[in-house]
Amino acid sequence: MLSEQGQYTFRVVSSASKRHIKDSVERIYGVHVEHVQIVKAHAKSRRRGLTEGIKKGYKKAVVALRKGEAIDIF
């Protein structure tokens, strides 16, 4: 898993930048971030019967921590 490699995935606001994500993770969890990668999931069209709609897209960030550091989530 990614957490064993020191990487964690967060779903973030679509307007968030790498710098903002790095600063937020360091402040909230008290760890040092090495780098941040951004992945955008695009919107998809969905249909249920005759009703058509759109599943909203989102942005997620993969955050890599310094070696030996971890985030205790549970």
Q: What is the pLDDT of residue 4?
A: 79
Placement of tokens 């994500």 in the chain: 21
Q: Can you give the residue range of the structural domain that contains 41?
A: 3-65
Domain assignment present for residue 52? The answer is yes
pLDDT in tens, 7-65: 999 999 999 999 999 999 999 999 999 999 999 999 999 999 999 999 999 999 999 99
Q: How many residues does the chain have?
A: 74
With respect to residue 73, please indicate whether it lies within any of the assigned structural domains: no
Q: Is the pTM of this model over 0.85?
A: no
Q: What pLDDT score was predicted for residue 72?
A: 86
70: in domain:
no
Number of domains in the chain: 1
Indicate if the pLDDT at residue 74 is higher than 90.
no
Residue 53 is predicted with a pLDDT of 95
Helix residue ranges, H only, 2-74: 18-29
